[in-house]
A and B are shown apart, each in its own frame.
Chain A
Amino acid sequence: MASAYNPIYTDVPEKDVFALHFLQTLSNLRTQNSFSSPDNKTSDRVKKIKKAAYVSMARAAGATNRLWSRSLLHQAAKRNNKNVRFLRRKRRVTWLMRRRSNRGDPIEDVAAERLRNLVPGGGGMETSKLMEETAHYIKCLSMQVKVMQCLVDGLSPK
């Protein structure tokens, strides 16, 4: 971000891409019958919307380029009992976990663990890779938050 030459690529597409994906996902939700039924619990709807937000964010950010987005989509697909497409990642994850066990700096490991729990797909990453993913994840999250904020503002009753 600050440097012109950043070997760590954390570019994130513009807001409109996020907006488009999010709106698409939301519209898909709309078409679902369960969503518009009044007896639907609010929490379920909220969860669905939240999931839609994350999934759309993962897609907008370049689904397969980033580990966290892949993991997100993977989890979402699993929940829907869809086919798992990223099998290749599992093997790499285990290898990474084996490698990761060798690294140990107690001070940063504690925080890194917390970060791993936060960032999707962070379990199999080394700390340096984890930081990259976190940076990209933060960018996408903030973008998504902006989009959602605008949407809410636009749709809220005057």
Chain B
Amino acid sequence: MEILRIENLTKIYGSGDNEVRALDGVSFSVDKGEFISIIGPSGSGKSTLLHMIGGVDRPTSGKIYMDGQDIYAQNEDQLAIFRRRHVGLIYQFYNLIPILNVVENMCLPVLLDGRHVNNDYLNDLLDTLNLRGREKHLPNQLSGGQQQRVSIGRALMNTPAVVLADEPTGNLDSKNSQEIVELLKLSNKKYNQTLVVITHDENIALQADRVISIEDGKITRDSRIRGY
């Protein structure tokens, strides 16, 4: 079942001499529950693509449909609400709020949505993310890996349909990296979430169901590794 459809997506930064075509007519579609990795050289447009899907930036042209809905037909506030309900974004730089503690950072999207935190699920996540005993800590009291796990917790907290991760392991050693990927895979299986991961790490890329290569803003290869 298709959950995401990207149609002829183009993003142009700057204008005139400074014009950069970060994305150039990208089209593909993603099924529910799929685990996709995106690879490509630096500056090829991977992050740009992810931001478009996550609704944090608007494309120059082209469309993105999630569950059949054109996400960029929405205004800023609707887009914000869309993000907190349907998308979990994980960044290479963890982007935590420094004055909120671990639990608060994780619960942010749920609380912003005015919903009650599901404590069972929260405890479950804290256990899986191995953040027990760290609930009240502030981000600067955590290691890089721990901070990244908090940001994953935040992305998973509202059980989004789509989890988008931009080099989630970029700053971590291989042991930590593998742990994080296992986590994401676990959530992917458990909640039948769609998972899109950008990575430079071939090991991680090959664990996906499908690998999309991007070069110069265009898809150069789209290969299915596992049957689905």
Asked whether A and B interact, the reply is no
Chain B residues at the A interface, C-beta cutoff of 8 Å: none
